[in-house]
Structure 1
Amino acid sequence: MTTTDLSSSGPVREVRDENGRLYRIGRTDRDLMGRPRWTMVLFPWMGMLGISSSEYAFTSAEDTLHEAHLWDSGHIFWLMGVWIFFQAAVAFPAGQLRESGRLPARYAMMLGAGGTLCGYLSLAYAPHVTVAYLGFGVFSGIGAGLVYATSVNMVGKWYPERKGGKTGLVNGGFAYGSVPFVFVFTSFMDLSNYQGFLVMVGVICCAVVAFAGWFLKDPPKYWWPAHVDPLKVTDDPRVRRALSKNPPAVHQYTPREAARQPVLWMMWFCLLCTAGINIYGIAMQVPFGKEMGFAGGIVATAMSLKAIVNGTGRGVIGWISDRAGRRNTLIIVCLVLGTAQFGVFVSGNMGSMPFFLFCSMVSGFGGGAIFPLFAAMTADFFGENNNASNYGMVYSSKLVSGLVGAGGGAFLVDAWGYGGAFVFAGSIGLGSAVLALFLKAPGKPRPQRRRRIVPNPQPLGEEMA
């Protein structure tokens, strides 16, 4: 472990731990930004609020869009799938641009705000479904991906010592912001006013994202908070517990180095499965509830509760993972997510509204919790410096899960019915829990097994001296 002063005139110094990892200590958040670092939780959270309605509230507008534009119902689900595809596709290149300095956080957020507005305008005025695919699916999806990649990875850079709860809180904004629009689209929007409502929602979301993005700023590479010594056990019990359960990466992995680690692709596949289940639930819960005879208001309530619990789950699970460990928490979440799919189907067939609402909330909790877990786990395994790119590689699995969960889910329902589709989704969730058992940080030595000490039947004595 070594310490190297960068300059005798400045307070900044570089510290290396026993693994050779570099920490840059000295400058505080107020030195760097002129304000406390908790603002780098607040503003990214606001940015996530602004893009959430495009995914979580979109299917609530299915009936109105179908009647207004005479689009086939299949287009609604594929529109969502294309949006998710491009939202995930931009994660890795956006991370590369961000970390190279060619795309500052503020500009990324402004582009995201413009894409969000473009998406809602295309839904309101598209003369043909192709325009909707381009405006909402492509431009709005890319805009949301820029906002997501910028906001989620910003938090881990400013809170490298205790990133789980903060990352989860920001990630939760991706669901919370949709709640009022679920009710608007379901209860108030119809053929007479849908264009005005869609434009209003687009303007509000665009303004929120642009305002939040104006204040975003990255810390320097290798930055570490001055009040936490990375070479000593801290006195703060929260930080001490978080670092013991989720120790920092042994090395700041570049994307090329991270891609050589098998665990990154295991994480990719695990997120593919769990995100696909989450998106399937978002896309299919509204039509399933209606087919089971639940009133539109009940279905809207179920979807809103799902979104609320989805967002809450992201924040709470990050806090829990700081205490219990990221991998252990992920295993439990996968079990909960898989089991909930069976519950949603059974409750719908029973016609039990309370049970349906409960299972919907449990499914929302599990579906939301996976994203901050993988975001924080990527930083734990591969470091914070290139987390936008590294998490972009893991998050790119949503390219497939979006299409499979939304469009593929509709295909499974047509082929197998809701029963077969929900059983398949539940089984995938349980299988993901098994896969999560094998996720371990690369480069860290495995704890050695203690040798069993066998008593010597012939101890040294005077006769053997």
Structure 2
Amino acid sequence: MQKAGVIQDFYGRRYRIGESDRSLLGRPRGWMLGAAWAAMLAAGAGQYGYGALLPMLVAERGWTWQQGCWVLALWTVCQSASVYPAARAGLRPAATLAVGAVLCASGFVALAGSGGFAVVLVSHSVLGGIGAGLVYGTCVSVIARWYPERSSRVALTSGAFAYGAIPFLLLGFVPAAIVVLVLAGAGALVLRNPPEHWWPQHVDPRRWALDKTVNPSLRRNRPPIRQYSITEVVRCPASRQLYFAVLGAAAVLLFDIAYLSAFDGVLTAAVFAGASGIGRAGVGWAGARFGRRNVLCGALVVAGLAQLLVIGSLAILGACLAGAACGACYALLPGVVEGHFGERLGLPNFGLFYGAKAAGGLVGVLLAAYLGGAGGFVVAAVLGVVAAALVASLRQPGRPAVAFWRR
């Protein structure tokens, strides 16, 4: 085995070269991808599965509609707020994934076995939400480290968080608890981080950083001026602009999750969840071909305008487009963040912006709780278009403003 060494590219990014994935793991890195993907499958049932079954749960438990929505709202806040600490903590993936699996499972058990609103609020919303956030943050962080040259693998992993919930619409929450324990527990035995700044042997990192034939995404995605620390990111005006764009996207996503099944049935909600997950698979190619920021802007426009199809006579089509567009937003977000503020191990910068889902999710779910109907979909449409406008005017810190089509 070649001796490991650390080199830098033109932008000051560091790469540890000389070690293959097989020499570090004893197996291909695809095992890491498979383990993370499997762990994410059941964790998303607390969001997408709960939203699809929300009308039924409200009727069975004797809750008000607003109480049922508050359970989802608090779950979303706890889940999204846990992703950044999971990516930032630097703990062993086995530990955070195991804790996340137990918390997720306990939330599902409480949701299945207790009709008490307070019990469900604490067990499912708080503990289950934190557990789902730990699973999400750990899996995304590990895959980002093992696939630094292939951001689409992160999107593939996060997609399982959405479409993995569909089987549990038929099986229920107790099977979800068992599956998340089995899959995330197995993932905890397999997942491990590579050495800091590890880079795969088959790609020359310096050529990848500059050569558009090696890294075609450079044609429409310019690298950042420099690497920004978390403190510097927070101080950048562009970060606030992107944060509010993510907030708007999250509001649209969570409004649809909370209200689609009540407005047009479980099938529509299931179509939304499936499209949200599956739509992330091909968005990496689109982002590389047309520019991640441009595609993100277009996805937000589609997510907003698709709301108007739902209240018309094309509800299934609207749910499919809205789900795919919302899923694309979260698939593109890591690359957009890296392109503006630099790359960091385990995507802590992404986790910072993913935290906007807490505020946006609260807005979206409460919109479903207290407005709903056609008026709620119109407001969601406006939020999507406003978020698209924020992204359209976004520019890299340190670069002069140029025409939209040249950025």
Residue 25 of structure 2 aligns with which residue? 33
Instruction: Tell me, yes or no, if structure 1 residue 255 matches structure 2 residue 230.
Output: yes
1:69 to partner: Cα distance:
2.6
After superposition, residues 3-402 of structure 1 pair within 5 angstroms as 11-98=3-90, 103-126=91-114, 128-163=116-151, 165-184=152-171, 197-232=172-207, 239-289=214-264, 299-347=265-313, 355-402=314-361
Say how many residue pairs are matched. Answer: 403
The answer on whether the counterparts of 1:160 and 1:384 sit within 8 Å (CA) in structure 2 is no
* Cα-to-partner distance string for 1:373-410 (whole Å, 9 max, x where unaligned): 11232233334434432122101111111211112332
- One-letter code aligned to 1:310: S
Aligned-partner SS, 1:392:
helix
- Hey, what's the Cα distance between the residues in 1 that align with 2:357 and 2:86? 15
Closer, same or farther in 2 for the Cα pair 1:235/1:90, shift >3 Å? closer
TM-score by length of structure 1 reads: 0.81
Closer, same or farther in 2 for the Cα pair 1:405/1:95, shift >3 Å? same
- Hey, what's the Cα distance between the residues in 1 that align with 2:127 and 2:208? 47
Unaligned runs of at least 5 residues, structure 1: 1-8, 185-196, 290-298, 348-354, 449-465
- Hey, what's the Cα distance between the residues in 2 that align with 1:305 and 1:253? 39
The answer on whether the counterparts of 1:271 and 1:394 sit within 8 Å (CA) in structure 2 is yes
TM-score by length of structure 2 reads: 0.92
- Hey, what's the Cα distance between the residues in 1 that align with 2:13 and 2:23? 24
- One-letter code aligned to 2:167: P
Aligned-partner SS, 2:312:
helix
- One-letter code aligned to 2:387: S
1:142 to partner: Cα distance:
0.2
1:112 to partner: Cα distance:
0.9
* Cα-to-partner distance string for 1:280-304 (whole Å, 9 max, x where unaligned): 0111111111xxxxxxxxx222222
- One-letter code aligned to 1:162: R
Closer, same or farther in 2 for the Cα pair 1:63/1:219, shift >3 Å? same
- One-letter code aligned to 1:427: V
Bigger mean CA offset, 323-332 vs 36-45? 36-45
Aligned-partner SS, 1:23:
strand
- Hey, what's the Cα distance between the residues in 2 that align with 1:377 and 1:213? 29
Residue 5 of structure 1 aligns with which residue? none
1:371 to partner: Cα distance:
0.7
The answer on whether the counterparts of 1:105 and 1:213 sit within 8 Å (CA) in structure 2 is yes
Q: Which has the larger radius of gyration?
A: 1
Provide the identity percentage. 33
- Hey, what's the Cα distance between the residues in 2 that align with 1:441 and 1:37? 32
* Cα-to-partner distance string for 1:59-112 (whole Å, 9 max, x where unaligned): 3333443344322222111100100000011122222212xxxx2111111011
Bigger mean CA offset, 424-433 vs 217-226? 217-226
The answer on whether the counterparts of 2:24 and 2:194 sit within 8 Å (CA) in structure 1 is yes
- Hey, what's the Cα distance between the residues in 2 that align with 1:370 and 1:441? 18
Residue 296 of structure 1 aligns with which residue? none
Unaligned runs of at least 5 residues, structure 2: none
Give the aligned CA root-mean-square deviation in angstroms.
2.4
Aligned-partner SS, 1:346:
coil
1:117 to partner: Cα distance:
0.9
Closer, same or farther in 2 for the Cα pair 1:235/1:21, shift >3 Å? closer
The answer on whether the counterparts of 1:331 and 1:436 sit within 8 Å (CA) in structure 2 is yes
Aligned-partner SS, 1:217:
coil
Aligned-partner SS, 1:343:
helix
